[in-house]
Structures are given as structure tokens and as C-alpha cells.
């Protein structure tokens, strides 16, 4: 049997909102990290603040990348970011492109999330609803920090308001003005595949009756949540994964935007309970080979 062709540079996995490496041993990248490692890829899931602005998380990511470059002896890394992790990775690539071989957005809100917009409308700044919502988010993030077993280090800062603003359509528009690398020039199009020596890719899914509400998702609570969240969408109604719209996810070379995946299926959550016919782990393996073929 021929050995798997692996990437030249390590794969760095960047989590999204309320993300982690492992909680009491349970991985965020369920079955993905382990499978890629079994095929010979160098894979490093990283820890950033579970609740903060994308720029703040990006600075934390840059510190981790610098340490990884020293640790591994690599010249660059391939960043793969899920959800807000895509914005975090984009920031790092914009600031230090010489450290980054590629950025891959997996279900990333590259033009903002309509769900974040809805939350802002329902809990305006300064109201008791916003204070309650922020308290709930901070409490969840603190529990994640306490239960995190995948990394050691200082307690990371939390800011629910900054996080919400960073994920809203208006907040991401400001972010995109500062860091436009890889963005499409037209809504629903593709962006430049290479900017400043960094390759840009993206993929995402949509809720599809008969597929994403079948299979393992019949028993998966987060899938029900995504179907409820999808009701808050207006611009991309019927064309979202429950948290991010199909076209909003576009960045660089669009590998696909209509896989039968809800937002959590994209990272094989929960416990690999995904929709009928979905293969999120396979998408990551295929992409690892794609990066290897590109010499990355």
C-alpha cells in the first residue's frame, strides 16, 4: 500500500465560538484530528478565547503559531478555521502572511451571521436582555475554560459583547474592510485563491430536509437547535446551516457550499451524529490531500 501523501506544513485547527481543544477528553474536532494523524498529517488543534472579538482571538493565534514554528521547525502552517475560527485565521494571515501557507474556512461567517444580527435585535446593547445573554455566554465560556483538558496556559479573556459585534453583519463588514484577503468581489462568487503568498479555500453546508434531519441527526440535539436558528434568517432563508449562510461562507476557492451539513456537522459533532450521507471527516481528509498536491 502506498503511504499517504501529507502536507509540507502542519495543519493548525482553529475553533469557533465557545470552542475548545478537548473538554474532559472530548475533542472539538471529533474524529477529524485523530483520523488525519493516523494518515500521517501533522495536526495541531489550538486554544484561543472561546468568547471574544476575532482580532483578539487572532492575536492569541499568532502567539500559538509562533510557538509551533519554533517547536516543529516548520517555516509556515496551514490554518483551518471553523465558524469564528475562520475569521481568526484570516486575521492571522493578514498580519503575518509569511507564517501562513493557507487559510481554509469551514462554515465561516465571512460576511457575518444573520443569527448574530437576530440576537443583537432581540437583546440591544444596554438592556436587561443583553446583560442576561452576556452573563449566560460568559458562564458557558468559563465552564469551558475550567473543563478544558487539551491545553495548559493562562486564563484567556472573555468579552460577550465584543464577540457578538464581531460576528454580526455590520461587525464583519468592518473586519472585511481591514482584512479583505480572499473575499469575493460579488455576492455568492469566489475570491482570489492566492493573496500575498497565502492560499484561500472554503467549504460549508446547508440544512436539507430528508438529509440533514435524518441519519444520526435524528438523535442530535444541536441539529434541532440549528433548525430553530435557521428560522431567524431572512437574506439566506433556506440557504444556511443554521448559523451561517451559504454565500456568507464564501472565501477564496469555494470547494463546496451545499454539503448536507448543519453548523455542528461540519466538525463531526456531536459524537459523529451527522445527517444522512454526510462525511465531514472525509472532507478534511480530501482537503489534506488537496493541500499536499498544492505543495503546501
In a domain? residue 3: no
In a domain? residue 4: no
pLDDT digits (tens, 9 = 90+) for 177-208: 999 999 999 999 999 999 999 999 999 999 99
Band of the pLDDT at 89, cuts 50, 70, 90?
A: very high
Residue at grid coordinates 464577540: 163
Q: How far is CA 188 from the centre of its chain?
A: 19
The domain in which residue 178 lies consists of 11-293
- Annotation says 75 is catalytic: no
pLDDT digits (tens, 9 = 90+) for 123-164: 998 999 999 999 999 999 999 989 987 666 678 999 999 999
pLDDT digits (tens, 9 = 90+) for 41-73: 999 999 999 999 999 999 999 999 999 999 999
In a domain? residue 269: yes
Contacting residues for 46 by C-beta, under 8 A, at least 6 apart: 12, 13, 14, 15, 21, 61, 64, 151
Q: How many structural domains compose the chain?
A: 1
Which of these is catalytic: 263, 265, 266, 287? 263
In a domain? residue 278: yes
pLDDT digits (tens, 9 = 90+) for 256-294: 999 999 999 999 999 999 999 999 999 999 999 999 999
In a domain? residue 2: no
Q: Is the pLDDT of residue 31 over 90?
A: yes
CATH code for the domain in which residue 279 is found: 3.40.50.1820
- Annotation says 241 is catalytic: yes
Which of these is catalytic: 117, 159, 220, 241? 241
Contact (CB, 8 A) for 98 and 197:
yes
- Annotation says 83 is catalytic: yes
Q: Is the pLDDT of residue 254 over 50?
A: yes
Euclidean distance between CA atoms 110 and 252, whole angstroms:
11
Amino acid at each position: 500500500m502506498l503511504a499517504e501523501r501529507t502536507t509540507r506544513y502542519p495543519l493548525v485547527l482553529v475553533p469557533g465560538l465557545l470552542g475548545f481543544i478537548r473538554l474532559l477528553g472530548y475533542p472539538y474536532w471529533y474524529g477529524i484530528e485523530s483520523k488525519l494523524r493516523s494518515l500521517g498529517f501533522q495536526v495541531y488543534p489550538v486554544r484561543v478565547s472561546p468568547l471574544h472579538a476575532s482580532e483578539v482571538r487572532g492575536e492569541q493565534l499568532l502567539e500559538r503559531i509562533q510557538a509551533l514554528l519554533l517547536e516543529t521547525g516548520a517555516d509556515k502552517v496551514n490554518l483551518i478555521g471553523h465558524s469564528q475560527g475562520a475569521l481568526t485565521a484570516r486575521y492571522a494571515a493578514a498580519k503575518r502572511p509569511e507564517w501562513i501557507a493557507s487559510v481554509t474556512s469551514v462554515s465561516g461567517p465571512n460576511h457575518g451571521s444573520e443569527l448574530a444580527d437576530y440576537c443583537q435585535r432581540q437583546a440591544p446593547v444596554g438592556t436587561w436582555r443583553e446583560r442576561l445573554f452576556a452573563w449566560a455566554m460568559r458562564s458557558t465560556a468559563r465552564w469551558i475554560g475550567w473543563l478544558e483538558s487539551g491545553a495548559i496556559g493562562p486564563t484567556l479573556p472573555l468579552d460577550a459583547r465584543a464577540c457578538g459585534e464581531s460576528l454580526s453583519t455590520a461587525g464583519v463588514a468592518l473586519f472585511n474592510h481591514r482584512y479583505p484577503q480572499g473575499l469575493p468581489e460579488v455576492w455568492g462568487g469566489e475570491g482570489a485563491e492566492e493573496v500575498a503568498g497565502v492560499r484561500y479555500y472554503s467549504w460549508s453546508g446547508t440544512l436539507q430536509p430528508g438529509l440533514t434531519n435524518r441519519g444520526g441527526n435524528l438523535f442530535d440535539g444541536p441539529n434541532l437547535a440549528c433548525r430553530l436558528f435557521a428560522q431567524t434568517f431572512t437574506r439566506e432563508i433556506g440557504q444556511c446551516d443554521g448559523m451561517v449562510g451559504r454565500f456568507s461562507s464564501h472565501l477564496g476557492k469555494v470547494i463546496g457550499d451545499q454539503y448536507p451539513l448543519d453548523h455542528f456537522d461540519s466538525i463531526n459533532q456531536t459524537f459523529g451524529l451527522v445527517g444522512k450521507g454526510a462525511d465531514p471527516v472525509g472532507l478534511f481528509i480530501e482537503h489534506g490531500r488537496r493541500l499536499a498536491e498544492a505543495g503546501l
